[in-house]
Amino acid sequence: MGDMIKTLRLSAAGMKAQGNRLRVIAENIANADSVATSPGGTPYQRKVITFKNELDRATGLDMVHVDKVLNDKSPFNKKYQPGHPAADSDGYILTPNVDSLIEMMDMREAQRSYEANLNMIKTSKRMLTEAIDILR
């Protein structure tokens, strides 16, 4: 039974990590059109999340955790919009370095990872319940 509980903890850590990843992706999508309001200002900068393994001393297992949420270093896009308050002398504004297609693909991947961990929890729970029923 101890191994099933470890499996539950591992899957829960994976779900938490992917949940955080989904929140970062949602923030990127929500701000995909957020531009600066003054000339020379910077628009929203895409965020990326990194993970790390940490030893859980209680279980002796490496658990996944969020390491950092960083700004994406890729360059901003430019859009010709001469009437905009943030336009430079050539009429261009900087737009966020968020690509909605990439964000949607990342979201789908995170969602599937979350669901896989959830299914492991459901399976472990079912096995644990069956083991308890056998012992009765």
**What does the domain layout of the chain look like in residue ranges?**
2-135
Burial class (CB in 10 A: 0-12, 13-18, 19+), 130: exposed
Taking the C-alpha atoms of residue 24 and residue 97, their distance in angstroms, rounded to an integer, is 14
Structural tokens at position 136: 């009765």
Residues ≥6 apart with Cβ < 8 Å to 120? 7, 10, 11
Strands (E), the chain: 47-56, 61-71, 77-80, 92-95
What's the pTM value of the predicted model, to 2 decimals?
Answer: 0.86
pLDDT in tens, the chain (136 residues): 678 888 888 999 999 999 999 999 999 999 999 999 888 789 999 999 999 999 988 778 899 999 999 999 999 999 999 999 999 989 999 999 999 999 999 999 999 999 999 999 999 889 888 988 998 8
